[in-house]
Structure 1
Amino acid sequence: MLKKVGYFLFLVQILIPSVINAQDISLFTQINGRYDFTFIGNTLNPSENNNSTPSFLLTSSSATLNLSSDDRIERAYLYWAGSGSGDANVKLNGFDITPDQLSNVTGSFSNFTYFSAFKDITLLVQSIGNGTYTLSDFDINNLVATYATNATQFAGWAILIVYENPNLTLNQINIYQGLEALSPNPFVIPAIIDNMEIQLDNLYLISNTGAKIGFIAWEGDRLIQESERLSFSANGTTTILSNPLNPGNNAFNGTHTETNATNLFNMDLDVYSIENYIVPGTTAATVSLQSGQDYVMLNTVVTKLNSQLPDATILLDTPISSCNSREVTINFTVSNLNSTEVLQTNTPITFYAENQVITTIYTQNEIPIGGFENGTITLSIPSTIPLNFTLIANVDDIDNGTGIIPELIENNNSFQIEIELIVNPIFNNLNSLTTCNLGLTRGLFDFSNYSEAVKTDPNHVVSFHESFEDAVQNTSPITNISNYDAVTTPKEIFVRIDNGCFSVTSFLLLTENCPPTVYNAVSPNNDFSNDTFFIEGLRDIFTNFELLIYNRWGKLLWTGNNNKPDWDGYVEDGVGSTLAPSGTYYYILYLNDTNYPEPLTGYLYINR
């Protein structure tokens, strides 16, 4: 067995363990593959108990794990038991241990309470590996005198190790646990003989080679064997179990068959071969215990049976979906790769969206060892499922997480992928943009901030287009969105918002007639600077304007409009001269625009 080298941190949750009364022994877990099991453990009794001895119990003891170099630890479970309602705080190799479960049982004859504690210590044992294991801080000495009155002062511990080895046959390890007790009363007439029967179900056997059964039991006495027996029943045949350490009439006698120890006082770690008592095809068996005097607590039963099983797995490909559709088409593959048996036809496959069952289908063919089957399915996703969800496919699942086929590995039947249903993106509406009319409704526009303003998701991709068709086809995008020149307005700009699907919205570009700017200095000397009376923002904007020029005595000198050139000092109907001399003149500008009902007035100066 390989042992990890390095630092190890064993984390223990500080929890109040669940405490339950006597619990029927039932299947706890099942492990399939090239596995076997063994026990280690030790008693805290310095001698077998009776009414006077021992007068004290040890508070620690040790045992050695010695697996081979090819063995890999798969599971390790710690059990400790004793008189009283339970010591819930012990140490294993210095690590604090609190139970995952604490069980109590009360003797029907004595009304004394006894306990068994359970802890999954797989990570700890995997880290330590082979070596000495010491359970300590297990102290119930305050109860010894009380329990000595009926000779049931005891304490002990055990570790069940399940290990993998590539050289082993394919086996099924079943672990059954609980806490049940035989509580006979030999002191009445007639004496009361107590019996116990444990059902072992979920078995799967193809060969009886190497079949064995193991027990963790407490408080058995070597010197008490009245009407005591341990029986195994399968396929209509009942056999009293025995081996060299465990006679048929004294099964619970303080022995450890894995080490051949006979001084495991008041506890038993025993393994029996059942090769001759079970046949291929067996799916259930019964263990029966009987005692006429000895008080015995049964904690754990372990079976190892040669098995031959399939191993169903499933793989999902990338899904195919359409815009604005809640249907998803997906290809999948069901495989039977690491198996020792064909995977039968009609193996169920259940698809879940999050935790909601969508549908269950079935494999179409028997899948051979190492083989696979491809399939395609279109799933209709309910409207209650969000657009982003996890699609889960479970093979060997009848729509509630329950399988119908025994498998080598029961925890590799699931595959999941994240899916996003694509719908046309939601967008923010955009307001029209208005700028000053540069002439004949032309305008310059900056709508660069609309790239973000229209989005409801930062991952959306936005483009602008001059036609709806271009937006739909995603062609000819507008590149200059910060200084866009609209030759005529109103002009509609189309916006494409893309997330795999797309939406198209639009906004208008509008112009308005802004107030004109009057430059009132005129020097008509043909130097191309201020040669005329120039009013910026007037021509081709206020197309119906009328401009009147007066001298300082109020005489009308000139009338202009959009069809006449700017005034250069020419006097219409002038007397003596048609050129206005240097001086101050006055203007009245009628814009003839509903937004500007009042004329603009002012003066200008001609400098010749």
Structure 2
Amino acid sequence: MFGASSQLMAQDISLFQQFNGHYDYTAFGNTLNAIENGSGGNCSILTSSSADLNLNANQNIVAAYLYWAGSGNGDFDIALNGTPITAQRTFNDALDPTRVFFAAFADVTDIITNQGSTTYTISDFDLSAIINPFCPTGTNFGGWAITVIYQDDSLPLNQLNVYDGLQSVPTFLSITLDNLNVLDNEDAKIGFVAWEGDAGLAVNEQLTINGNVISNFPLNPANNAFNGTNSFTGASDLYNMDIDVYNIQDNISIGDTSATIELTSGQDFVMINNIITVLNSQLPDASISIDDYIVNCGDNSVELFYTVYNTNSTDTLPANTLIAFYVDGILIGQSQTTNAITIGASESGSIIVSVPDDIDPNLTIIAIVDDDGNMTGTITEINEDNNITFEDIELLVIPDIVTLPNLIGCNEGFEISTYNLYDALEGQDFNEENITFYQSLEDLETGSSPILIPSDFNNTSSPETIYVRLTSPPCYEVFQFDLTIENCPPFIPDGFSPNGDTLNDWFNIEGLYNIFTEHNLIIYNRYGDIVFEGNNDKPWYGKINRGLNKQGSKAPVGTYYYILNLNDPNYQPIVGWVYLNY
């Protein structure tokens, strides 16, 4: 019946599910109205009704969606062949604040698959308590419909789109269906589930697709599209509901990505709840996932493991399909598939990408399949909006190098000393098993050529920088320190015995020779005469090399006085006594 819709409530028709393959659909259902409504009609309403599903043996159920609707705020708990059903989604619309309507949805695939072609009864659908106020204006109704999508190998490869929502028209309604991809318009079809249409009202009621009036005469005349019919069964007694399907081969063109449905009505109030399009479409559909990744300490390179899919498709995805990887809009890597990916198949791959140094270490890598590196695709696909994925990644940033105090060693000759490198870490909390020493930062970063015996290490230069890698999961810390040399005070023995037994045969002042290379040693006898003068190249073996007599001969047994001038600004001359014996 007529009413001026205030559109107080409505949910725009939008894509709910898409199926690509050898798919088609059928629909069945029934009304709860015993007769068509009207201001003078019967005000009673049924609480159950039945309808038959008839499928061929080669038609395999893929999905089944139950829609039910009626006057009032809604009954969302009903039963299908005795199985309780609760609405998974709900919709609502209104003519005015007192005349509100509802619709509901439930996925009943399991029930329909298990029971197959048989009679289905909706029960416990009770609007009797609220129907009376709607009867005077002829807006009292209730009904249900099940859309069944099936697979049949004899069918062409189709794209089947299920749209739903709840939009009404008493005067004019326009709905644009997106996500279409028309490859071949042969046998293209569009179907509807609509509520509250009246067979007795045909005032300026017209349904158009892309500006073309469509009809299924005589079941659905051009001036009375929503008239209580089921196009699949030919039934005309679905009072105040419609399950209709139309061939639109001549109303849609190859290459179309959308279609516009327009409905006008001068009196009848109609609510569109479900729209289905079936179009021949043999196209691939590339999508991608990032499955895993590897990051290394202090390295801006990331190894990505990914999979390219051709799942929701009706054709093979070509080999060498391009893949691009981005961070903050910057292209950081490109790859491509190796093989042609058949319908429903996938291919895995990996790539190492390098992240710019100035990017925040907490970053998001975006992967796009069918992308030439300029965010542009080159392959026509069923769905161009599912080619992208992303992965949040944290680079393993190594903390700044900590500089430790120098480790000082005594010069053992020629600027060489022996060090226990662990001594440089005094005061640090560490376990020797977690510490590794290196002679270059490059070796540390690659983990190559570690110092094998850190507790007994001889420097190779002075100063020499040593690098320390301290394992600190998930990464490591880095320290560095310098090995430096100082000339430590020499150790001067009390005596020596140059008797040729190779033991203590010379005045061996430890820490002197090849260390204080500019030193001068003077030996005096007890009378104050100089008997020997030596330097770094001339140690004292107990022989006389000064004085007028006895040069080259052995000095007598006895105590001798020495003056050792190290010629080092850090030291004063050292004096003392040494005993010579044979």
C-alpha separation in 1, matches of 2:518 and 2:316: 96
Pick the aligned partner of 2:190 from 179, 193, 213: 213
In structure 2, the partner of 1:541 is 515
Aligned to 2:131, what secondary structure does the other structure show? helix
C-alpha separation in 1, matches of 2:210 and 2:379: 22
When residues 605 and 414 of structure 1 are mapped into structure 2, their CA distance, relative to the original with a 3 A threshold, is: same
Aligned to 2:492, what secondary structure does the other structure show? strand
Task: Tell me whether 1:104 sits opposite 2:92 in the alignment.
Answer: yes
In structure 2, the partner of 1:580 is 557
Contact 1:171–1:304, Cα closer than 8 Å, also in 2: yes
Q: State the 1:95 CA deviation.
A: 7.3
Aligned to 1:240, what secondary structure does the other structure show? coil
Task: Tell me whether 1:180 sits opposite 2:167 in the alignment.
Answer: yes
In structure 2, the partner of 1:272 is 246
- CA deviations 1:267-311 (Å, max 9, x no partner) are 332223445x5476595766554556654312222232345x554
Q: State the 1:106 CA deviation.
A: 1.6
In structure 1, the partner of 2:130 is 143
When residues 311 and 398 of structure 1 are mapped into structure 2, their CA distance, relative to the original with a 3 A threshold, is: farther
Task: Tell me whether 1:39 sits opposite 2:44 in the alignment.
Answer: no
Aligned to 1:529, what secondary structure does the other structure show? coil
In structure 1, the partner of 2:216 is 241
In structure 2, the partner of 1:591 is 566
Contact 1:106–1:112, Cα closer than 8 Å, also in 2: yes
Aligned to 1:297, what secondary structure does the other structure show? strand
When residues 48 and 561 of structure 1 are mapped into structure 2, their CA distance, relative to the original with a 3 A threshold, is: farther
Amino acid aligned to 2:115: G
Task: Tell me whether 1:514 sits opposite 2:488 in the alignment.
Answer: yes
- CA deviations 1:159-195 (Å, max 9, x no partner) are 4344443321233434444422244xxxxxxxxxx45
- CA deviations 1:287-338 (Å, max 9, x no partner) are 554556654312222232345x5548699xxxxxxxxx99xxxxxxxx9xx8
In structure 2, the partner of 1:353 is 326
- CA deviations 1:341-392 (Å, max 9, x no partner) are 999xxxx999662362769xxxxxxxxxx9xxxxxxxx99988767987464
Amino acid aligned to 1:167: S
Pick the aligned partner of 1:84 from 72, 75, 87: 72
When residues 522 and 400 of structure 1 are mapped into structure 2, their CA distance, relative to the original with a 3 A threshold, is: closer
Task: Tell me whether 1:22 sits opposite 2:10 in the alignment.
Answer: yes
Aligned to 2:26, what secondary structure does the other structure show? strand
**Matched positions, count:** 497
Tell which deviates more after alignment, 33-42 or 202-211: 202-211
C-alpha separation in 2, matches of 1:127 and 1:536: 98
When residues 399 and 85 of structure 1 are mapped into structure 2, their CA distance, relative to the original with a 3 A threshold, is: farther
Question: Which TM-score applies when normalising by structure 2?
Answer: 0.61
Aligned to 2:568, what secondary structure does the other structure show? coil
When residues 430 and 291 of structure 1 are mapped into structure 2, their CA distance, relative to the original with a 3 A threshold, is: same
In structure 2, the partner of 1:54 is 44
When residues 606 and 131 of structure 1 are mapped into structure 2, their CA distance, relative to the original with a 3 A threshold, is: farther
When residues 420 and 125 of structure 1 are mapped into structure 2, their CA distance, relative to the original with a 3 A threshold, is: same
Aligned to 1:440, what secondary structure does the other structure show? coil
Contact 2:331–2:373, Cα closer than 8 Å, also in 1: no
Contact 1:427–1:454, Cα closer than 8 Å, also in 2: no
When residues 30 and 486 of structure 1 are mapped into structure 2, their CA distance, relative to the original with a 3 A threshold, is: closer
When residues 539 and 397 of structure 1 are mapped into structure 2, their CA distance, relative to the original with a 3 A threshold, is: closer
The equivalences for 1:471-490 within 5 A come to 490=462
C-alpha separation in 1, matches of 2:174 and 2:329: 40
Task: Tell me whether 1:171 sits opposite 2:148 in the alignment.
Answer: no
In structure 2, the partner of 1:438 is 412
When residues 579 and 157 of structure 1 are mapped into structure 2, their CA distance, relative to the original with a 3 A threshold, is: farther
C-alpha separation in 1, matches of 2:133 and 2:384: 47
Q: State the 1:112 CA deviation.
A: 0.9
Contact 2:93–2:166, Cα closer than 8 Å, also in 1: yes
In structure 2, the partner of 1:125 is 109
C-alpha separation in 2, matches of 1:128 and 1:548: 115
Task: Tell me whether 1:116 sits opposite 2:95 in the alignment.
Answer: no
Pick the aligned partner of 1:226 from 201, 226, 232: 201
C-alpha separation in 2, matches of 1:56 and 1:82: 12
When residues 591 and 295 of structure 1 are mapped into structure 2, their CA distance, relative to the original with a 3 A threshold, is: same
Structure 2 residues not aligned, in runs of 5+: 1-6, 289-299, 302-309, 333-342, 344-352, 423-434, 470-479
C-alpha separation in 1, matches of 2:360 and 2:374: 21
C-alpha separation in 2, matches of 1:128 and 1:606: 116
C-alpha separation in 2, matches of 1:419 and 1:146: 60
Contact 1:212–1:271, Cα closer than 8 Å, also in 2: yes
Q: State the 1:587 CA deviation.
A: 5.5
Q: State the 1:238 CA deviation.
A: 2.9
Q: State the 1:595 CA deviation.
A: 2.0
In structure 2, the partner of 1:565 is 539
Amino acid aligned to 2:201: E
Aligned to 1:353, what secondary structure does the other structure show? strand
When residues 254 and 312 of structure 1 are mapped into structure 2, their CA distance, relative to the original with a 3 A threshold, is: closer
The equivalences for 1:250-399 within 5 A come to 251-258=225-232, 264=238, 266-274=240-248, 278=251, 281=254, 283=256, 287=261, 289=263, 294-307=268-281, 311=284, 353-354=326-327, 356=329, 390=365, 392-393=367-368, 395=370
C-alpha separation in 2, matches of 1:72 and 1:606: 113
Contact 1:427–1:456, Cα closer than 8 Å, also in 2: no
Contact 1:437–1:512, Cα closer than 8 Å, also in 2: yes
Q: State the 1:536 CA deviation.
A: 1.4
Aligned to 2:213, what secondary structure does the other structure show? strand
Question: Which TM-score applies when normalising by structure 1?
Answer: 0.59
When residues 567 and 105 of structure 1 are mapped into structure 2, their CA distance, relative to the original with a 3 A threshold, is: same
Amino acid aligned to 1:214: G
C-alpha separation in 2, matches of 1:139 and 1:161: 25
When residues 494 and 314 of structure 1 are mapped into structure 2, their CA distance, relative to the original with a 3 A threshold, is: farther
Amino acid aligned to 1:98: Q
C-alpha separation in 2, matches of 1:545 and 1:232: 114
C-alpha separation in 1, matches of 2:259 and 2:578: 119
Pick the aligned partner of 2:446 from 460, 466, 473: 460
Contact 1:39–1:258, Cα closer than 8 Å, also in 2: yes
When residues 435 and 528 of structure 1 are mapped into structure 2, their CA distance, relative to the original with a 3 A threshold, is: same
